[in-house]
Chains A and B, each alone.
Chain A
Amino acid sequence: MIARILDRRQRPRLRRETPAALKWAPACNRMDTTMSEHPVVGAPERILLPRRLRAPEVVSLLGDIRRRQGTGPLVLDFREVEEFDSSTLALLSYVRNGPEGLSPVNVVGALARAEESFARKRADGAPAARPEAGGWAGRFFRSVADRFLGSIRSVGLFLTMFGDEVYHIGVYLRKRKGVYPGEIWNQMFFMGYQSFPIVCLLLFLVGVTISITSAEQLQLFGADIYIADIIGYAMLRELVPLMTGVILAGKVGAAITAELASMTVLEEVDALKTMGLIPEKFLMVPRLLAITLVVPLLVAMADVAGIFGGMLVAQVTFGMTPMAFLDQMVNTVDWIDFAWGLIKTVVFGWAVVVGAGYKGLTVGRSAEEVGRATTESVVLSVTLIIVIDCIFAFVIY
Chain B
Amino acid sequence: MDIISARGLAVGYGTAEVLRDLSFVIPEGLISVVLGVSGSGKSTLLKTLAGLLPPLEGGFEFSGAPVDYASEASLGALYRRIGVLYQGGALLNGLTLFENIALPIRMHFPEMPEEMVKDMVHNGLAQVDMADAAAKYPAELSGGMRKRGALARALVLDPDVVFCDEPSSGLDPITSSLLDDLLLRLKDTFGMTLVVVTHELRSIERVADRVLVLNAGRLHYAGDAAGLSASGDPFIRTFFLKKDSQDDA
Structural contact, A271 and B84, CB atoms closer than 8 A: yes
Please tell me if the beta carbons of A274 and B87 are within 8 angstroms of each other in the complex. no
Q: Is the CB of A180 within 8 A of B103?
A: yes
Contact residues, B90-124 vs A (CB, 8 A): 90-93, 103-104, 106-108, 110
A196 → chain B, closest Cβ, in Å? Answer: 22
Please give, as numbers and ranges, the residues of chain A lying within 8 Å of B27 by CB-CB distance. none
Q: Which residues of B contact A275 (CB under 8 A)?
A: 79, 103-104, 107, 153
Contact with A along B193-206 (1 / 0, CB 8 A): 00000000000000
Assembled-state Cα–Cα distance A282/B106 (Å) = 12
User: B126 within 8 Å of A by Cβ?
Assistant: no
* Residues of A with C-beta under 8 A to B108: 276
A276 to B105, CA, bound (A): 11
- Take A266-B90, A274-B52 as given contacts and tell me if A180 and B79 are in contact as well, using a CB distance cutoff of 8 Å: no
Known interface pairs A275-B103, A275-B107, A276-B108. Does A270 touch B79 (Cβ–Cβ under 8 Å)?
no
What's the minimum C-beta distance from A163 to chain B, rounded to whole angstroms?
Answer: 16
B76 in the interface (beta carbon within 8 A): yes
Report the Cα distance A178→B76, complex, angstroms. Answer: 13
Known: A270-B52, A270-B90. A277 touches B84 (CB 8 A): no
Residue contact A267 to B80, C-beta cutoff 8 Å: no
For chain B, the count of residues having a C-beta within 8 Å of the partner chain is 25
The answer to whether B76 and A267 have CB atoms under 8 Å apart is: no
Q: Known: A177-B110, A270-B52. Is A276-B88 also a contact (CB below 8 A)?
A: no
Which positions 261-288 of chain A face chain B at CB distance < 8 Å? 263, 266-268, 270-271, 273-277, 282
Q: How far is the CB of B244 from chain A (nearest CB, A)?
A: 27
Majority DSSP secondary structure for residues of B touching A? mixed
Please pick, from A178, A181, A270, the residue contacting B86 in the complex, using a CB distance under 8 A.
Answer: A270
- A186-B87 Cα distance, complex, nearest whole Å: 29
Query: Knowing A180-B103, A274-B82, A276-B107 touch, does A267 contact B51 (C-beta < 8 A)?
Result: no
Give which listed residue, B47, B52, B104, B110, contacts A276 with CB less than 8 A.
B104
Residue pair A274, B76 in contact (C-beta under 8 Å): no
Quick one: given A273-B52, A274-B51, are A267 and B107 in contact (CB under 8 Å)?
A: no
B222 to chain A, nearest CB (A): 24
| B50 contacts the other chain (CB 8 A) | yes
Q: How far is A266 from B237 in the complex, measured between Cα atoms in Å?
A: 34
Taking the closest CB of chain B, its distance from the CB of A367, in whole angstroms, is 13
Could you tell me the distance in whole angstroms from the C-beta of A385 to the nearest C-beta in chain B?
27
Which residues of B lie under 8 Å from residue A266 when comparing CB positions? 88, 90, 93
Find out whether the CB atom of A274 lies under 8 angstroms from the CB atom of B88. Answer: no
How many angstroms between the C-alpha atoms of A274 and B53 in the bound complex?
Answer: 11
Which residues of chain A come closer than 8 Å to B104, judged between CB atoms?
Answer: 275-277
* Distance, CA A270 to CA B88, complexed state (A): 12
CA distance A274 to B195 in the complex (A): 15
Is B88's CB under 8 angstroms from A273's CB?
Answer: no
Q: Which residues on B sit within 8 Å (CB–CB) of A277?
A: 104, 107
Contacts of A180 in B (CB 8 A): 103, 106-107
- Scan B57-80; emit 1 where CB is below 8 A from any A CB, else 0: 000000000000000000010011
CB contact between B90 and one of A176, A178, A268, A276 (< 8 Å): that residue: A268
Contact in complex: A267, B79 (CB < 8 Å): no
| B84: chain A residues within 8 A (beta carbon) | 270-271, 274
B91 CB, nearest partner CB in chain A, Å: 8
- Please determine whether A267 and B106 come into contact, CB atoms closer than 8 angstroms: no
A268 to B79, Cβ gap below 8 A? Answer: no
Chain A residues with CB under 8 Å of B86's CB are 267, 270-271
CB neighbours (8 Å) of A282 from chain B are: 107
* A267–B87 CB distance below 8 A: yes
In the bound complex, residues from chain A placing their C-beta under 8 Å from that of B90 are 266-268, 270-271
Using a CB–CB cutoff of 8 Å, the interface residues on chain B facing chain A are: 47, 50-52, 76, 79-80, 82-84, 86-88, 90-93, 103-104, 106-108, 110, 150, 153
5 residue pairs A–B, Cβ–Cβ below 8 Å: A268-B91, A268-B93, A270-B86, A276-B76, A276-B107
Given contacts A267-B88, A274-B79, A274-B84, 18 further A-B contacts (CB under 8 A): A177-B110, A180-B106, A266-B88, A266-B90, A267-B86, A267-B87, A268-B93, A270-B47, A271-B84, A271-B90, A271-B91, A273-B51, A274-B82, A275-B153, A276-B80, A276-B104, A276-B107, A282-B107
What is the interface of chain A, defined by CB distance below 8 A to chain B? 176-178, 180-181, 263, 266-268, 270-271, 273-277, 282
- Which 4 A-B pairs have CB atoms at the shortest separation, nearest pair first? A276-B79, A271-B90, A267-B90, A274-B84
